[in-house]
Amino acid sequence: MTDKNLGSRRRFLKGGAALGLTTAVVPAVRSQESSDGLSRSAYGVRSRYVTSKRIGDGGNNSDFESEYNTLSPIQNQVGIITPSALHFNSSHGASPPDIDPHEHELMIHGLVDRPLKFTMAELQRLPFISRIHFIECSANYPLPKDVTVQHTHGKTSCSEWTGVPLSLILNEAGVRSGAKWIVAEGADRDSHSKSIPLQRALDSCFVAYGQNGGPLRPHQGYPLRLMVPGAGGFSHVKWLRRIKVVDKPYLTPSERFNELHGPKSVITFPSGGQQLLERGYYTISGLAWSGAGRIQSVEVSTDGGRKWQPASINGPVLPVAHTRFSLAWNWNGKETTIMSRCTDDVGQVQPTAIEFARSRGVSVDKVLSREVRRQGHWNLVFPWKIASDGQVQHHYWV
Amino acid sequence: MTDKNLGSRRRFLKGGAALGLTTAVVPAVRSQESSDGLSRSAYGVRSRYVTSKRIGDGGNNSDFESEYNTLSPIQNQVGIITPSALHFNSSHGASPPDIDPHEHELMIHGLVDRPLKFTMAELQRLPFISRIHFIECSANYPLPKDVTVQHTHGKTSCSEWTGVPLSLILNEAGVRSGAKWIVAEGADRDSHSKSIPLQRALDSCFVAYGQNGGPLRPHQGYPLRLMVPGAGGFSHVKWLRRIKVVDKPYLTPSERFNELHGPKSVITFPSGGQQLLERGYYTISGLAWSGAGRIQSVEVSTDGGRKWQPASINGPVLPVAHTRFSLAWNWNGKETTIMSRCTDDVGQVQPTAIEFARSRGVSVDKVLSREVRRQGHWNLVFPWKIASDGQVQHHYWV
């Protein structure tokens, strides 16, 4: 950015738009305590002016219907880490199970020489790793009714996860010849289960007890979840209690979804439901991620996809992690469409709708159809239309 | 680690020690709401079995006296990120100021061509960076009365911070010739101020509005703080409202402490106040950091400093960030002393007490004296003594 640009920006900044700050109803009095009775000195709370929250995927901000899907407010997030309290949730049952960690055990059985049980204390004595990884629900796709990026892309979050490599545990149990898969089972009401190829389990999976420096949150599987870096959210079995080593994929409801998520990105500012109040300088910002590895580059178009400019990367670039990008932009006040696309370090490029439709042999108006959505991870380039009055709306296909 | 080691470990694991899990009083009923009236679906809370908290540096778990110093429970933390609610705090005044972000402004003045004021909304429109950095209070040293690593080393924390490079803001204001320093001032009761060399301000400082994906917490300076990566905590002026560009360091109480923190590490498990219940396998774990750059290597001694073994690095290695290390260890049940030392990527090695005393020309029993502590950052190798009954105590100088 040149000084000339900055000079022009400053003129518009004088206008004092309140973008990026929610003008929300602020509680006049705020509890001096956090929710477990600790003082704010013992366990800190947010400022009373900070009000961002998860919403249900019905799009109603106050009614969650069920807790199947709660969406992370990625339009308000900065950096790459998702605050633990705002991590998206997609699980069965109205509430997370209330598990006493002193009672919880992980069982390893099936095609192993030595079936094993681990208490949480035993697991926490073992060698561990700590990795910053996104988890994205495979059903993280937009619907026509969606308004904000929280609706269209809010089923992805990124945390530092800490736990024990599954290879260590499986080697300790002694995997028998003929074993090809594992089945992981959670302690939730429905005993959610998922089959994972054994080779992936040995290569990259771990059983995580830590999230962003603390224990897992209840909605994220406290006290233990499976991490399957880069795979769909439902592979990351929460409240993990059992791993069975087997010779073929069990008929779990989801045994077919085992591909790693492809490269994906979205602009979080400006995004749906926001409004640019004036022409002038803005920093376009967004998130990019890939289940296959690191993000190598991100490009942004501010003219509906005719020209693509390289975006800046603004923070850590880690494997299978959210990556923050941005682009300095002077908006001329005219209607336009903005979008981002990313490339990962194995060379995969996020497809546009037209490219995606061509590769699947469907017409471009079908890229959001139920059949296409159910084929797996939906990672298309996602455009936002900015009207001449600054209103931002989803604008599916350019 | 060999399979033989693992076999031997498993035998001891059968004993079922409850290390690492706090046997705490668990509230029978827990609020369904977080502290600001949101449901747990909208804003998640910890499991009711998770009770770790900050304590005052008087060592009394329930009485904070003042909020000058609240210590982070690093004995319970995993990975490198400190949960925002548990970030250490060291500041003036009994409570953080309650700042309305719509009213807050940052003023840039002094030796500049164009004095500037920025609202928070204006700052959030500017180009930004996001960095995972530790902040450590320069007074993070042990005292003889201290028991746990929370007391001895709890004034350090690590977060992802997001904000605007100060160079961008200063260039926009136009720094005049003759300028050599900046003075940053906070909006707290005492208007805490700190002088920073201008060159450092231009090279690495930024004004941060984001912490771990959300806005700063009130105790960490909401809505804005100065980041001075690698310098002492009190340089990172909280509730930042004013930056004056000047020709010499103002006589702020702390203008002399401008050196970057040296390499430092500490073992967090096993650590003071904990007890190993049996002989056998443990994963020694700890944190290392340096104000000068990345941690290059960590070594651990389990025999009082005679032999040093290379530790594993268990997670991301980032500049000026906490770095997690560990060492697989079979404890033979005999009294011993364990400690860690680290080397950073500019070649600095964390000193032992003897090396430190020699370099300062004092006797080794003086390395914790008030005069030595006040000379700057205290980063000595810190030993823990493990008694034959497994009790862990501080054990200053080997």
Residues B318, B192 share a domain:
no
Domain boundary at A204, A226, A255, which? A255
At B31 the pLDDT is 53
Q: Which of A312, A317, A320 is nearest to A232 (CA)?
A: A320
Nearest residue of chain B to residue A171 (CA atoms): B3
Q: With 80 as the cut, is the pLDDT of residue B148 above it? A: yes
Instruction: Identify all chain B residues contacting A43, using CB atoms and an 8 Å cutoff.
Output: 53-54, 85-86
The answer to whether residues B147 and B240 belong to one domain is yes
Nearest to A83 among B53, B131, B212 (CB): B212
Q: Give yes or no: residues A107 and A154 share one domain.
A: yes
Same structural domain, B164 and B219: yes
B191 vs A: CB within 8 A: no
Interchain CB distance below 8 Å, B283 and A128: yes
Closest partner residue to A34 (CB to CB) among B21, B27, B85 is B85
Supply the range of the domain harboring residue B347. 264-394
The answer on B115 and B233 residing in a single domain is yes
Asked whether the predicted pLDDT for residue B165 surpasses 50, the reply is yes
Question: What residues in B contact A52, CB-CB < 8 Å?
Answer: 214
Q: Are B202 and B182 in contact (CB under 8 A)?
A: no
Chain B residues 243-272 within an 8 A CB cutoff of chain A: none
Per residue in A300-323, pLDDT (tens digit) is 999 999 999 999 999 999 999 999
Pairs of residues, one from chain A and one from chain B, whose beta carbons lie less than 8 Å apart:
319
- The reply to whether A318 and A349 lie within a common domain is yes
CA dihedral in degrees (A319, A322, A328, A332; nearest 10)? Answer: 140
What's the pLDDT at A4? 42
Quote the mean pLDDT of chain A: 88
Least confident of A256-265, A317-326, B379-388: A256-265
Question: Is the same domain home to B119 and B242?
Answer: yes
Nearest by CB: B20 against A83, A124, A161: A124
Which tens digits make up the pLDDT trace of A129-142?
Answer: 999 999 999 889 99
Give residue B16's pLDDT.
33
B127·A318 Cβ contact <8 A: no
- Inform me whether the pLDDT recorded for A93 exceeds 80: no
The pLDDT score that the predictor gives to residue A143 is 87
CB B268 within 8 A of CB B326: no
Among the ranges given (A312-326, B131-145, B175-189, B368-382), the one the predictor scored with the smallest mean pLDDT:
B368-382
| In-domain check, residue A194 | yes
Cβ of B215 within 8 Å of Cβ of A44? The answer is no
Please give the single-letter amino acid code of residue B91: S
Q: Identify the domain boundary among B220, B246, B272.
A: B246
| pLDDT surpasses 90 at B227 | yes
d(CA B236, CA B194): 8
**Interface contact A49-B100, CB threshold 8 A:** yes
* pLDDT-derived band at B254, boundaries 50, 70, 90: low
Of B46, B116, B215, the CB nearest to A36: B46
Whether A222 and A268 share a structural domain: no
Chain A segment 317-336 residues within 8 A of B by beta carbon are: 318, 324, 326, 328
Residue B396 CA to residue A121 CA, distance in Å, equals 29
Does the beta carbon of B282 lie under 8 angstroms from any beta carbon of chain A?
yes
**Among candidates B47, B77, B312 on the partner chain, residue whose Cβ is nearest the Cβ of A222:** B47
Q: How confident is the model at residue A32 (pLDDT cuts 50, 70, 90)?
A: low
Q: Is A13 on the interface with B (CB under 8 A)?
A: yes
Q: What are phi and psi of A54, to 5 degrees?
A: -75, 150
B117 vs A: CB within 8 A: no
Q: A171 or A92: which carries more pLDDT confidence? A: A171
Position A63 confidence tier, pLDDT thresholds 50, 70, 90: very low
A285/A164 same-domain check: no
pLDDT tier at A58 (50, 70, 90 boundaries)? Answer: low
Global pTM reads: 0.92
The pLDDT value recorded for residue A398 is: 53
pLDDT of A61 strictly over 90 = no
What is the percentage of chain A residues whose pLDDT exceeds 70?
85
Indicate the SS3 state at residue B8. helix
- What's residue B398's pLDDT? 54
A70 and B223 in contact by Cβ < 8 A? no
Mutating which of B128, B216, B225, B281 best tests the A interface, going by the most A Cβ atoms within 10 A? Answer: B128
CA distance to partner chain B, nearest, from residue A260 (Å): 22
Confidence at residue B252, expressed as pLDDT on a 0 to 100 scale:
61
User: Which residue in B106, B125, B169, B330 has the most chain A C-beta atoms within 10 A of its own C-beta, making it the best mutation to test that interface?
Assistant: B125
A55-59 long-range contacts, CB within 8 A, separation 24+? A55/A150, A55/A151, A55/A154, A55/B42, A56/B41, A57/A151, A57/A154, A57/A155, A59/A145, A59/A146, A59/A147, A59/A151
CATH number at residue B359: 2.60.40.650
Contacts of B61 (CB under 8 A, 6+ apart): B53, B55
Per-residue pLDDT, A34? 62
Residue B223, preceding peptide bond in cis (omega within 30° of 0)? yes
* Residue A112 contacts B, CB cutoff 8 Å: no
Is residue A83 in a domain?
Answer: yes
Check if A3 contacts B (Cβ < 8 Å). yes
Domain end among A255, A283, A302: A255
Q: B178: domain CATH number? A: 3.90.420.10
- Whether B214 and B290 share a structural domain: no
What is residue B202's three-state secondary structure?
Answer: helix
Q: What is the mean pLDDT of residues B219-227?
A: 97
The answer as to whether B364 is a domain residue is yes
Q: What tens digit of pLDDT does each residue of A168-216 get? A: 999 999 999 999 999 999 998 888 889 999 999 999 999 999 999 999 9
Give a yes or no: residue A26 inside a domain.
no
Best B2, B10, B12, B36 residue to mutate vs chain A (most A CBs within 10 Å): B36
Mean pLDDT of chain B: 88
pLDDT reported for residue B92: 65
For an interface test with A, the pick among B6, B67, B81 (most A C-beta atoms closer than 10 Å) comes out as: B81
User: What is the predicted pLDDT for the residue at B32?
Assistant: 53
Question: How many angstroms from the chain centroid is the CA of residue B23?
Answer: 26
Angle between helix A3-13 and helix B166-173 axes, rounded to 10 deg: 90
Same domain, A109 and A240: yes
Helices (H), chain A: 3-13, 120-123, 149-153, 166-173, 198-203, 353-360, 370-373
Report the distance separating Cα B64 and Cα B71, nearest Å: 10
Residue A201 within any structural domain of the chain:
yes
- pLDDT tens per residue across span B66-123: 556 899 999 999 999 999 999 999 876 668 899 999 999 999 999 999 999 999 999 9
B306 Cβ neighbours under 8 A, 6+ residues apart: none
A50 in contact with chain B, both atoms CB, cutoff 8 A: yes
Query: Among all residues of chain B, which has the CA nearest to that of A68?
Result: B41
Task: Show the CA angle centred on residue B341, arms to residues B336 and B342, nearest 5°.
Answer: 155
Query: ipTM, 2 decimals?
Result: 0.91
A314 vs B contacts (CB less than 8 Å): 128-130
CB-nearest to B20 from A13, A46, A121 is: A121
Residue pair A79/B210 in contact by the 8 Å Cβ criterion? yes
- Domain tally, chain B: 2
A305 is a domain residue = yes
- Nearest CB to B130: which of A80, A98, A213? A80
The DSSP bridge pattern shows strands A240-246 and A384-386 to be unpaired
Q: Give dist(CA A370, CA A359) in Å, integer.
A: 17
List the alpha helices (DSSP H) in B108-188: 120-123, 149-153, 166-173
- The C-alpha atoms of residue B60 and residue B65 are separated, in whole angstroms, by 9
Same domain, A197 and A117: yes
Q: Could you tell me if residue A46 is inside a domain? A: no
Q: Span B245-264, mean pLDDT?
A: 80
Select the residue from B99, B212, B281 to test the A interface by mutation, using most A Cβ atoms within 10 A: B212
Beta-bridge partner residues of A88: none
Q: Helices B3-13 and A166-173, interaxial angle, to 10°?
A: 90
Q: State yes or no: pLDDT of B328 exceeds 50.
A: yes
Asked, for residue B28, whether it belongs to a domain, the answer is no
CA distance B18 to B8: 18
Give me the helices (H) in A187-248, please.
198-203
Is A343:A296 a contact under the CB 8 Å cutoff? yes
Contact B41 A83 (CB under 8 A): no
**Residue A3: its pLDDT value, please?**
40
pLDDT in tens, A350-385: 999 999 999 888 888 888 888 888 778 899 999 999
Looking at per-residue pLDDT, the higher value among B365 and A73 belongs to: A73
Calculate how close chain B gets to A347, using CA atoms only, in Å.
Answer: 23
Q: Which of residues 119-148 of B touch A (CB under 8 A)?
A: 119-122, 124-132
Interchain CB contact of A105 with B (< 8 Å): no
B44: nearest CB among A84, A127, A160? A84
pLDDT computed for residue B199 by the predictor: 96
pLDDT of residue B7 exceeding 60, the answer is: no
Share of chain A above pLDDT 90, in %: 71
- φ/ψ region of A183 (left if φ > 0, alpha if ψ in -120 to 50, else beta) reads beta
Mean pLDDT of B335-355: 96
- A236 and A135 Cβ atoms separated by less than 8 Å: yes
Give CA separation, A185 vs A250, B162, B252, in Å: 11, 38, 59
* B215 at A interface, C-beta within 8 A: yes
